Chain A
Amino acid sequence: MTINEIQDQIIADFNLFDDWMDKYALLIDLGNSLEPLDEKHKIPQNIIEGCQSRVWLTAELVDGKIIFKGESDAILVKGIVALLLQVLSGQTPDDIVNTELYFIEKIGLKEHLSPTRSNGLLAMVKQMKMYALVFKAKFEKGI
C-alpha cells in the first residue's frame, strides 16, 4: 500500500469511534501490541529525548526500503509510534521525504504532536524524514 492509502485506512479505523475514550483505547491497544524494541537498540544514539517521555527509533535500508523500529516508555506515545511505523516503515526514502503526514490531525490526536507536549513525537517525525533524506542522498551518490 502507498503511504496515503495506509493513512486513509488508519483514519477510517479511528472514524469508527465517536468517543475520544474509544479512540484512546484503540491507541493504548496499538501501543501495547507494538513489538518491543530490542534492549540492545535502546542506546543513547537512538533516543529521541522529550521532556515528558522518551522515544527510541532505529532505521535500516533493506531492498531500497526503510525499515523503522521504535518504542516509547509511555503507552499513548507508543501507540502513535506504532501508527507512524505502520505508515512509514517499509516505504522508499523518496516516498517518505515527499509525504505529508495528515492522519494524526485527522484522527484527532494532533495535540500529541504539539511542541508543548515535548513527548519526543515531533522530533521522531523529523528524525524519520532525516533518515529518509540521508538514505536518499546515499542512494543517489551510489554509496
Chain B
Amino acid sequence: MTTNEINNIRAEFPILLEKVYNRPLIYFDNAATTQKPKAVLDRIIYGYEHLNANIHRGVHFLSQQATEAHEDARNYIANFINASSSTEIIFTRGTTEAINLVAFSLGEFACQKGDEIVISVMEHHSNIVPWQMLCERKGMKLRIIPMNEKGELQLDEYEKLLNERTKLVSVTHVSNVLGTINPVKEIITKAHSKNIPVLIDGAQAVPHIQVDVQELDADFYVFSGHKVYASTGIGVLFGKREWLEKIPPYQGGGEMIQNVTFERTTYNELPFKFEAGTPDYIGSTALAEALKYVQNIGMEKIANYENELTRYATKRLMEIDGMRIYGTSENKSSVISFLVENIHPYDIGAILDKHGIAVRTGHHCAQPLMDFLKIPGTVRTSFSFYNTKEEIDTFIEALKRVVNMFR
C-alpha cells in the first residue's frame, strides 16, 4: 500500500486520533479487537436512527425494513465466506458462543461416554473449555495435537489421534499467540477421510485471510465481528446444512420456534432454529458493513501489507539483545509474541503503555500453550492495515528504552 492509501485509511478510523498520556495512540492490540471505521460506526447509528424495529414478526413497515437489512447482512456474510446458502449462517454473540453452541448441540447429537474430541495445543481457552465441559458432561476425552519448536502443528501426530471414537476435530485457523496459519485444509481432509467433522476457529483468520468455507470443506467455521472491524457482541457460526439440520437447538426461546404448546414445541427452520431471542440486527448490519469495508480495500492487499509490517517489525525486534520470538513459522499472520531476556511481560507492557503504545501482555487466554512453552506469558504485538512502519519504529525505540530500564 502507498503512504497515501494508508493515510486515507487512517483518516477513516476516528480513534486513531486519540492521545494516550499526551502521546499519539499506537494501537498494536488488533488480535484482541480491531478499531472501527467510520462506515461501520455510521451504519450502527443509521440502524438506530432509521431502521430500528424488532425483526421477523412485525407486520409494520419498519419491522420489515429492519428484517430485510438483517437478512441482507446474512446474505452478504454468506457470500463473503462463500457459504453455499445464507441458511448456513447463524448469528451468535461471537466466536466463543458459536463454539459453545456446537459443543452443546453436536455433543447432544453425536457424543457418548468414551468418545473423543481432538483440539490442538495452541487453542484459545474458548476452543478448550467448551470441549472440556462437554467431556465432563459425557465422560469423554480431549486429545491434543502437539506442535514443533517453530509453533507448527505436527500433522503426523495429529493423524495418530484420529480414530473411531473421535467425534470432532476443533482447531484454530490462525494462532492468537504465535500467529501460525495452520494447514486447515489438510487437517480437514485427513479428518474427513475418517468421516470426522471439523470445526475451524477463524477468529484470527477472517481479518487477514480470504476464507472460503466450501474450498476448505469445513463443517463448522466460526468467527467474531469485533476482530474484523465490526461491533462487539456479534459473531458467526457457519455450519454445513446437513449438520445444522441434524443437531438439536442450543437455546430455547422466541424466534427459534415454529409452534409452541405446553405439550410440545416444534422448531423453526434454519437458520432461525439456532437464534433464540431477539437477534442483534444492528450488529449484523454493522458486521456486513465491516466486511464490505475490508473487501473494498481487498483481502489480498490487506494480507500483503500486514505481512510486510510483520516482517519489518520482526527484523527490527531482532536488533534487541536477548530477544526471543515465539512462533517462527514461515506461514504466519500479523501477530508477534516475544520476551526479552528475563524481563516480565507486565513490566514491558506497562511502560510501553506510558509511551502511548497498546500491546497485550500475559497468557493471551492460552494458558496450556504457555505451559507447553514453559513461560508465564509474552508481550504480543498484532498489526492491522492501519498501522505503519513509522509506528513500528517508535515502538522499537520505546522498547529499547524499556529494556534498558530493566537491565
Query: Residues on A close to B: CB < 8 A?
Result: 20-21, 24-25, 28, 51-54, 73-77, 111-112, 117, 119
Contacts and interface: CB of A to CB of B under 8 A. Distances in A.
Given A24-B351, A28-B406, A74 B362 contact: no
Contact of A73 (B344, B350, B363, B406): B344
B344 A53 contact: yes
Interface residues of B, number: 18
B253 interface: no
- Say whether chain B's binding surface is mostly helix, strand, loop, or mixed: helix
B343 to A, nearest CB: 8
Contacts of B406: 28, 75
B79 to A, nearest CB: 38
A112 B344 contact: no
A54 B353 CA distance: 20
B350 to A, nearest CB: 5
B322 interface: no
A73 B361 CA distance: 14
B405 A74 contact: no
Nearest to B350: A76
Interface in B376-407: 376-377, 405-406
A74 B354 contact: no
Interface in B59-111: none
B351 A51 contact: no
Contact of A119 (B21, B343, B346, B363): B346
Nearest to A25: B405
Contacts of B353: 111
Given A24-B405, A25-B405, A52 B351 contact: no
B376 A73 contact: yes
Given A52-B345, A75-B406, 7 more contacts: A28-B406, A52-B349, A52-B361, A53-B344, A54-B376, A73-B344, A117-B350
A53 B354 contact: no
Interface in B312-366: 343-347, 349-351, 353-354, 361-363
A75 B344 contact: yes
B33 to A, nearest CB: 14
Given A51-B362, A52-B361, A73-B376, A112 B350 contact: yes
Given A51-B362, A75-B347, A119-B346, A20 B354 contact: yes
A75 B361 CA distance: 14
Nearest to B362: A52
B233 to A, nearest CB: 19
A105 to B, nearest CB: 16
A52 B359 CA distance: 13
A74 B344 contact: yes
Given A25-B405, A51-B363, A52-B361, A76 B346 contact: yes
Contacts of A111: 353
Interface in B136-154: none
A20 B20 CA distance: 14
B405 A28 contact: yes
A72 B406 CA distance: 15
Contact of A77 (B346, B351, B376): B346
Contacts of B346: 52-53, 74, 76-77, 119
A52 B354 contact: no
5 contacts: A51-B363, A52-B361, A75-B344, A76-B347, A76-B350
B370 to A, nearest CB: 12
A43 to B, nearest CB: 17
Contacts of A74: 344-347
Interface-centre pick from B347, B354, B362, B405 (highest chain A CB count, 10 A): B347
Given A74-B344, A76-B347, A52 B405 contact: no
Nearest to B354: A20
Contacts of B344: 53, 73-75
A119 B363 CA distance: 12
